[in-house]
Structure 1
Amino acid sequence: MVTTFLILLVVLLILGAPIFIALSGSVMTAMGTGSHVPLAIVIERLFAGLDKFSLMAIPFFILTGSLMSVGGLSQRIVHFANLLVGRFTGGLSITAVSSSMFFGAISGSSPATVVAVGGLLYPAMRRDGYSGPFSIGVIIASGSLGIIIPPSIVMIVYAAVTGVSVGALFMAGIGAGVLYAACFIPYCVWRARRDGVKPMTPPTLRELWLGLKDAAWGLGVPVVVLGGIYGGVFTPTEAAAVSVIYALLVSALIYREKTLGQLFRTMIDAATTTAQVMIILAAASVLAWFLTSNGLAVAVANAVLSLSENPYHIFLLINVTVLIVGMFLDAASIMVILAPLFYTIGIKVGIDPVHLGAVLTVNGAIGMFTPPFGLNLFVASSLGGVSYLQAVRGSLPFIGIAIAALLLLTYLPAVSMWLPNAVYGG
């Protein structure tokens, strides 16, 4: 039965079947042909997989990101980031990195960050003298920060399938995201010097103040969310609900650049995205039950541990595996399929599950712009004048830099763990 399941799963994934069909369909077929267990249990597990309080945060954060993505917020964030760093060599490319951090803290989505930031900065970078591949490469790579900087939907998925604290994961995401972004900046400076790109004129204090004031309402989302969570005012799920109310008030009453009809369509889009995420999580619950009940998860974990019980070796194996899988699957799918297995292995060799979550999230972020199926590559191709091949060429140097950042994060756990340890006392 297990052999039938594995063959079906691989075949369906290769054929490009939707993830939820590949997961639940292969389980149902294997059970129907090799087990006397009623197939109704698959339906029960589908619903049980969604019956978790922490998952309620996902639709709220998706809706918050959708609401704040409309109404001119992206222009305000990019303008403010450029005021802060545009004066330095490579300032416009550094703006792409910093504005992606700001926007990622609001949207929680890598593709949305690429579209919002790239639509504004790609033409500007080309006008300033940056090459086409580099311009789109820095936007594609920086956009992946959207799933690392909290609030991160991918981290919520990891928490749902492993039981790790969402708050601790968000804290780890801050350190991981800052390191990840900082590794891009030296390359941006070097490329600007090589291409002879001039920095912009330093802004006045008044211009800085006006830029901050204009973007402050949008940038208040992560302050409300993280401040409320770590101030003990509300749980992560309650924080997500509060962020929706805040985003709706800011979009409808303060920025007021979209009609009520457009805001309503934004909510419909958010509901569609939520359904896509939730059905994958439901199917992942079926997979987890099947693997556990048949002893496959334990068998794989023991097989891995038979190779080595050294945490450094295990982490290397995890990173190589997820980087390869990330070339074909998105970060959320990787979490629901592989995180429970790696969590089990990590616990046995003494890897902190919060640190593991941060490492897996960064792995997933790299996969967002790794050929051949990195989602950001296809999203960038929708920008004017950008081809898929140009996006791939531009992404290659940043893949190397991102892997270097991943290794630093992996083997220097203090980078991601100092904030969770400070807040939660170890």
Structure 2
Amino acid sequence: MADTGTSDGAAAVLDSLDHEPARTGSPLVRPLEMVAAALLVIIITLLLGGVTSRYVLSIPVVWIDEAASISFLWLAMLGAAIAIDRNEHLRLTLFVGMLPEKWRGPVHAFGLLVVATFLLVMTWPAIDYVIEESYVTTAALNIPASWRVSAIAFGIIAMLALVLSYAVRVCSFRDLVMAGLLIAAVAAICYLMTPVFKTLGYLNILIFLIGVVGFCLVAGIPIAFCFGMGALCFLAFSTSVPIFVMIGRMDEGMSSLILLSVPIFVLLGCVLDATGMGKAIVDFLASMLGHIRAGMSYVLLGSLFLVSGISGSKVSDMATVAPALFPEMKRRGYQPKELIALLSTGAAMAETVPPSIVLIVLGSVAGVSIAGLFTNGLVVATVLLLVLAILARWKARGEVLKGVRRAPLAVIGKTALIATPALVLPFLIRGAVGGGVATATEVSTIAVLYALIVGVVLYGGIGWRKFYGMLVETAALSGAILMILGTASAMAWALTQTGFARDLATLMTGLPGGWVTFMAVTIVVFMILGCVLEGLPAIVLMAPLMFPIAKSLGINDVHYSMVVVTAMNIGLMTPPIGIGFYIACKIGNVQPDEAMGAIWPYLLALIAGLLIIAYVPSFSTMFL
């Protein structure tokens, strides 16, 4: 799973979930890492300069956003290439892991060649797109727009080179030949059947946008390339639309200025982990609540609630909180499976706490106010927090409190003093964005600067080598996220062009029960998508379809967003498919089979909270 920044420990957790060996730091990719790290520093510097000139000097610099946008697209594409090298693109490995050992090699070779085929086919359209954009001049810098979009062509070529280089190194010649012949045969059959496909109408959605994508997902191909291959096949074999259009859709999906905050909040999560700011918050809550029954459960949930407001990352949140609390909770009689259930559902609860990357992406894709999402997301998370806390209190009725004492006031005061600089940060982020003082992008840069200064002065600092590693990790993870957004945007565009969105809207608005039934359908759809696709792909794919329908039924955008995000994250933590559940198991070192039985009461509690949120709109709209 790759939704936001991860620490080294969390990244190791992700690697351990995969059946493909990690491959980091190859000579081919090291120059890309250095350039990507430099670009991230340039983006932060530009945005900080823009904030300073606008709010301190009252002299807006008009070219800063344009320069940052150019740097951002290059960062995204270089990061996507680095993620290819590091094996950090999000993919579903559950089914590949079930295969007999003898089949994994051929399936691995097939997956790599599918990725290579997609990139190879997209190479010339990407170059053609650069040529077309060379005739366009940017408004502020007065340079050809090809300077920016050439990042897409370069990134595609770099990813193609890395995929082929890796495939040749690790796959047998026989497996590669067989996989290549299979792909060529399928492509030839589809090409010959093109006249037939063009007469099938909506059946092509089932064949290409569901069938091809679903098959690629099961084969363990990264989700970004599953979407890309589905959209490519759909356009190539069932329409007369040129493939060139896909590059423009991918560019649009990755280039929104709102998304500039994604890599910066990812970096913020890395800084949180490296400096120990998250652990300081955990220690403070433990000193306050650790002596009461279910107190450690409250600490765990409260820590996830607060820490997520700094990192915006479920993986980072769990990797920060679990090691600090699990030993003491086990000593008090908590079963490991119960800890995993609480950890995973607590992480799902915290997704609406800003600065959630999912909320930022949703705001960008669906045109929803980021300030409204950040402000009201806190209320929604609080509802879910209370539901989980009630269940945790009931579960803790047999907790062993022998020898547990209230922490002395001196200890509470000391931990509070240490945690205060860290506690200020989430409220700084929420207050500035929710109050309209600054945009999410501007606040993200201020938050990174604050965290770096506080981390260096109060929490032990970060070495240059460590900081460089964090920059590269941020670039890779951001590239993986943004590549999904790009290909999912292309697929969503292809889906809407068929007229399917219009007919779906007609069907949905005609359901008996009006908005009540539509909300129930939404919950089911996004819980299923959350299990299979994880948050970002599901949002980018479905938001263009579902949000207009919700609006036509009179559902507030922010209210609907909260239902969508919550349902999606419940799905993400739902076994046997939800990848978030397996990440929690890895972090807590508990076998999934053991934890699976314990998580259902917590999931039911979250669903109860979700129903409250869905059918009591005021919880999501009270601060609008």
Q: TM-score, with normalisation over the residues of structure 1? A: 0.93
Task: Single out whichever of 212-221 and 384-393 deviates more from structure 2.
Answer: 384-393
Which residue of 1 is the match for residue 220 of structure 2?
A: 16
1:381, distance to aligned residue in structure 2 (A): 2.8
Aligned length: 420
Which residue of 1 is the match for residue 437 of structure 2?
A: 233
1:236, distance to aligned residue in structure 2 (A): 1.5
Instruction: Check whether the contact 1:82–1:95 (CA below 8 A) recurs between aligned residues.
Output: yes
Q: Counterparts in 2 of 1:312-327, with a 5 A limit?
A: 312-327=516-531
Change (3 A) 1:199 1:377: farther
Name the CA distance, whole Å, in 2 between partners of 1:374 and 1:35.
34
The DSSP-based 3-state class of the residue aligned with 2:504 is helix
Name the CA distance, whole Å, in 2 between partners of 1:281 and 1:199.
52
State yes or no: 1:185 paired with 2:389.
yes
Task: Single out whichever of 62-71 and 311-320 deviates more from structure 2.
Answer: 62-71
State yes or no: 1:382 paired with 2:586.
yes
Task: Single out whichever of 265-274 and 255-264 deviates more from structure 2.
Answer: 255-264
Between the two proteins, what is the percent identity of the paired residues? 28
Which residue of 1 is the match for residue 293 of structure 2?
A: 89
Instruction: Check whether the contact 1:110–1:145 (CA below 8 A) recurs between aligned residues.
Output: no
Cα deviation, 1:101-157, whole Å, max 9, x if unaligned, reads 111111111121111111221222111111221122111211223422111110111
- Aligned match of 2:370 in 142, 145, 166? 166
Instruction: Check whether the contact 1:61–1:108 (CA below 8 A) recurs between aligned residues.
Output: yes
- Aligned match of 1:342 in 546, 557, 576? 546
The DSSP-based 3-state class of the residue aligned with 1:203 is coil
Which residue of 2 is the match for residue 294 of structure 1?
A: 498
Which residue of 2 is the match for residue 418 of structure 1?
A: 622
- Aligned match of 1:48 in 241, 252, 263? 252
1:199, distance to aligned residue in structure 2 (A): 8.6
The DSSP-based 3-state class of the residue aligned with 2:354 is coil
State yes or no: 1:366 paired with 2:582.
no
Instruction: Check whether the contact 1:115–1:379 (CA below 8 A) recurs between aligned residues.
Output: no
Which residue of 2 is the match for residue 424 of structure 1?
A: none
Name the CA distance, whole Å, in 1 between partners of 2:219 and 2:508.
28
Which residue of 1 is the match for residue 424 of structure 2?
A: 220
Change (3 A) 1:110 1:226: same
1:385, distance to aligned residue in structure 2 (A): 4.1
Which residue of 2 is the match for residue 143 of structure 1?
A: 347
When Rg is computed on C-alpha atoms for both structures, the one with the higher figure is: 2
Instruction: Check whether the contact 1:50–1:282 (CA below 8 A) recurs between aligned residues.
Output: yes
Instruction: Check whether the contact 1:331–1:367 (CA below 8 A) recurs between aligned residues.
Output: no
Instruction: Check whether the contact 2:531–2:579 (CA below 8 A) recurs between aligned residues.
Output: no
The aligned amino acid for 1:376 is G
Which residue of 1 is the match for residue 473 of structure 2?
A: 269
Which residue of 1 is the match for residue 278 of structure 2?
A: 74
Instruction: Check whether the contact 2:322–2:587 (CA below 8 A) recurs between aligned residues.
Output: yes
1:384, distance to aligned residue in structure 2 (A): 5.6
Name the CA distance, whole Å, in 1 between partners of 2:453 and 2:568.
33
Name the CA distance, whole Å, in 2 between partners of 1:87 and 1:195.
11
Aligned-residue RMSD, C-alpha: 1.8
Name the CA distance, whole Å, in 2 between partners of 1:160 and 1:352.
16
Instruction: Check whether the contact 1:174–1:416 (CA below 8 A) recurs between aligned residues.
Output: no
1:257, distance to aligned residue in structure 2 (A): 4.9
The DSSP-based 3-state class of the residue aligned with 2:510 is helix
Change (3 A) 1:299 1:107: same
Instruction: Check whether the contact 1:162–1:343 (CA below 8 A) recurs between aligned residues.
Output: yes
Change (3 A) 1:315 1:389: same
The DSSP-based 3-state class of the residue aligned with 2:568 is helix
1:323, distance to aligned residue in structure 2 (A): 1.4
1:208, distance to aligned residue in structure 2 (A): 2.3
Name the CA distance, whole Å, in 2 between partners of 1:199 and 1:60.
44
Name the CA distance, whole Å, in 2 between partners of 1:18 and 1:371.
20
Task: Single out whichever of 268-277 and 365-374 deviates more from structure 2.
Answer: 365-374
Name the CA distance, whole Å, in 1 between partners of 2:307 and 2:215.
37
Q: TM-score, with normalisation over the residues of structure 2? A: 0.65
- Aligned match of 2:334 in 124, 130, 133? 130
The aligned amino acid for 2:337 is P
Name the CA distance, whole Å, in 1 between partners of 2:418 and 2:572.
31
Name the CA distance, whole Å, in 2 between partners of 1:118 and 1:269.
22
Instruction: Check whether the contact 2:340–2:585 (CA below 8 A) recurs between aligned residues.
Output: no
The aligned amino acid for 2:453 is L
Q: Counterparts in 2 of 1:193-204, with a 5 A limit?
A: 193-197=397-401, 200-204=404-408
Which residue of 2 is the match for residue 244 of structure 1?
A: 448
State yes or no: 1:5 paired with 2:208.
yes
Runs (5+) with no aligned partner, structure 1 = 422-426
The DSSP-based 3-state class of the residue aligned with 1:269 is helix
The aligned amino acid for 1:406 is L
Instruction: Check whether the contact 1:329–1:373 (CA below 8 A) recurs between aligned residues.
Output: no
The DSSP-based 3-state class of the residue aligned with 2:622 is helix
Instruction: Check whether the contact 2:254–2:485 (CA below 8 A) recurs between aligned residues.
Output: yes
